[in-house]
Amino acid sequence: MNKTLLGYVPNESPIYAVHPFVKLFFLLIVSLFPMFVESPEWNILLMVATIVLMWLSKVDMRTLKIYIPVAISMGSIILLSYTVMGGTHPEFELLARLGPVNFYWERVRDAIVVYFRVLPMIFTMVFFLSTSRERDIIVAMRSIKVPFVATYIFAMALRAAGMVLEDFQIVRQAEKARGYDPAGKSIPYKVRQYIMYMVPLFALSLRRSEEFTNALVARGYAFTGSASKIKRADYILTHYSFKYFDYLIIAVIAVSFIALLLFRYGFGAFATEESVLLSLLYQALH
Amino acid sequence: MELTVSNVIEIKDYSWKYLNTSAPALENINLTIEEGSFVGIIGPNGSGKTTLAYSMDGLIPGQYNGIKKGTVSVFGKEVEDYERGELQRLVGVVFSDPEAQFTAMTVEDELVFGMENIGLSIAEIQERLDWVTELTQLGPLLEKPPYEISGGQKQRVALAAVLAMRPRVLILDEPTSMLDPMSRERIFNVLIRLKAEENNTIVVIEHSLEHLVRLAERMILLSNGALLLDDSTRNFFRQTEFLLEKNVHPPGVIGFFHELSRMGDYEGDPPLDVEEAHIRLQKVLQGGKKG
């Protein structure tokens, strides 16, 4: 596994043969799929398909464990927002009443629909981050002619985030070296400590931005003036070329998206009324 | 035919005071650096070495606020008169903290960034990339993120990134301050090759004098913003007593022969490296005081 600023990527993977733009295209388009799908089973299918793609791409599946608490807490928040804090709706079908709180079937159904819409989106993002190095994102943007300044600012933001994380680790280690151990302390105490971390981190960030600016100037980079108007070659792009299967994958994704829109709005497919899973749940709750 | 040596950097009556500081960082500096020379600059922390390096690359006054007196000319032109980005093609600076100067996501991107900025073609970039990768032995690291490699490798990447731009003057600001002896050796090996093969003008600010004296033809001592000593390396270390007064500790061999001189057992120039010291010591042991 190789560490990137955004996570871990496999050392070797068949996905590396795919052009970085295709991966970005997959992320941008496939993560839109659940927006047009209400039936949870279809979104679960998309999620399973994404996990299979991760497995085929030799992503370390153990890393998925870290997303389980995220999935559980997100699901709980969505369910609570829709049910306990969902308000009173006389027009909805009441399932149960717990004191002043009414549980309506429509709100439970909507919570499930939303939850299973968000999950595949997250998995698509995880798939992208688990198979793309930082350079891939930059290459993907540059290959569709996003201006260099925009891609470079994005790269600098990634780099800056990485530096802040590194500095944060250094500050934490320095705290620990001086006997600070947050284990067993209360949450307000830990929050106060985090605020304390911010002071050296802020000072370090200021110093680093000065050094970073100096490095940019020293390397002849200029945002303005005649130096900024020089036509720059994009050497890194010479390492990447679109192959026939890249076009094929892009076509498959694009056609799938168009088909999805057609089925959704032309034939009313993927609606809650069509959902077998929701129908079974409805029967179970009654 | 008369051979003329041109001055690439001319500093006249130069003083620089950062905004909101009481004392000037540099005061009344007069200095010329000739084309193709290898100059070592030493001095205690806070003596103005980095300020001098930044002044020669135009980072001062370009990037900093302060009060400037006197002139700093590079290739006959005042640094302020250069267009933004123009001077940096002529003068390259390697900073002491390699981590802070990385601007890209892989070592290869880092090396080509400067070359892209100065408008080189893909073919030229490829050619220079091959050259600098071979020179600094960075081939196996090209695909790696620069923040994942070791400190010595990082500094070689920083050096290579500047070298790839082929500046006519190369300034290295404490390039080995964060490195272990092995990594330090590797950096200096690159400088040895550069001096032998490329004839660049090289200015090295360094605390590691053992390596520097073997390469530098000329040494400069800065202290409290003032230029205290500027001479050929051998003449420079003839004044070891003065250097010790200024808390500059010469390399071991020079210190050893200085002690021999003080005890009256040696007369002559201090040797600058172990090989030279060996020959002189043999003579001393054979009974002759003069090395």
Q: Where are the domains of chain B?
A: 7-250, 251-291
User: What's the pLDDT at A227?
Assistant: 67
User: What's the pLDDT at B128?
Assistant: 92
- Among A163, A217, A222, beta carbon nearest to B59: A217
- Among A214, A221, A227, beta carbon nearest to B95: A214
User: Does residue A242 have a pLDDT over 70?
Assistant: yes
Burial class (CB in 10 A: 0-12, 13-18, 19+), A263: middle
User: What's the pLDDT at B269?
Assistant: 80
Q: What number is the average pLDDT over the span A69-73?
A: 86
With bands split at pLDDT 50, 70 and 90, how would you rate the model's confidence at A5?
A: low
User: Does residue B2 have a pLDDT over 70?
Assistant: no
- Among A133, A217, A231, beta carbon nearest to B88: A217
b/e per residue A110-121 (b: at least 16 CB within 10 A): bbbbbbbbebbb
User: What's the pLDDT at A11?
Assistant: 78
Cβ proximity of B56 and B169 under 8 Å? yes
Higher pLDDT, B12 or A161: B12
Q: What is each CA distance from B254 to A105, B127, B213, B219, B232, in whole angstroms?
A: 89, 42, 10, 14, 15
Q: What is the pTM of this model?
A: 0.79
Q: Which residue of A has its CA nearest to B101?
A: A215
> What gap in Å lies between CA A264 and CA A267, rounded to an integer?
6
User: Does residue A225 have a pLDDT over 70?
Assistant: no
- Nearest Cα of chain B lies from the Cα of A85 at a distance, in angstroms, of 45
User: What's the pLDDT at A43?
Assistant: 94
Is the CB of A212 less than 8 angstroms away from the CB of B100?
A: yes
Q: Which of these, B232, B242, B289, lies nearest to B264 by C-alpha position?
A: B289
Q: Is CATH 3.10.450.50 the classification given to domain B7-250? A: no
Q: Would an 8 Å CB–CB cutoff place B123 in contact with chain A?
A: no
Other residues' Cβ atoms within 10 Å of the Cβ of residue B72? 24
- Among A208, A220, A233, beta carbon nearest to B121: A233
CB pairs under 8 A between A and B: 123
User: What's the pLDDT at B3?
Assistant: 42
User: Does residue A32 have a pLDDT over 80?
Assistant: yes
Q: Which of residues 144-183 of B touch A (CB under 8 A)?
A: 145, 147-148, 161-162, 165
User: What's the pLDDT at A228?
Assistant: 67
Q: What number is the average pLDDT over the span B125-145?
A: 89
User: Does residue A232 have a pLDDT over 90?
Assistant: no
Q: Where are the domains of chain A?
A: 2-139+243-285, 147-239
Cβ proximity of B162 and A220 under 8 Å? no
∠ Cα A274 A278 A284 (to 5°): 135
Tokens of A74: 């997100």
SS3 B223: strand
At B225-261, the pLDDT tens digits run 999 999 999 889 888 888 888 888 888 888 888 888 8
Complex ipTM over 0.90: no
Is the CB of B165 less than 8 angstroms away from the CB of A231?
A: no
Q: Would an 8 Å CB–CB cutoff place A229 in contact with chain B?
A: no
Residues 6 or more apart from B215 whose CB is under 8 A from it?
B38, B40, B188, B191, B192, B195, B204
- Nearest Cα of chain A lies from the Cα of B224 at a distance, in angstroms, of 23
User: In a mutagenesis test of the B interface, which of A235, A239, A240, A241 is the best target, namely the one with the most B β-carbons within 10 Å?
Assistant: A235
Q: Would an 8 Å CB–CB cutoff place A158 in contact with chain B?
A: yes
User: In a mutagenesis test of the A interface, which of B64, B84, B112 is the best target, namely the one with the most A β-carbons within 10 Å?
Assistant: B84
∠ Cα A75 A68 A198 (to 5°): 95
Residues of B in contact with A228 (CB under 8 A): 84-85
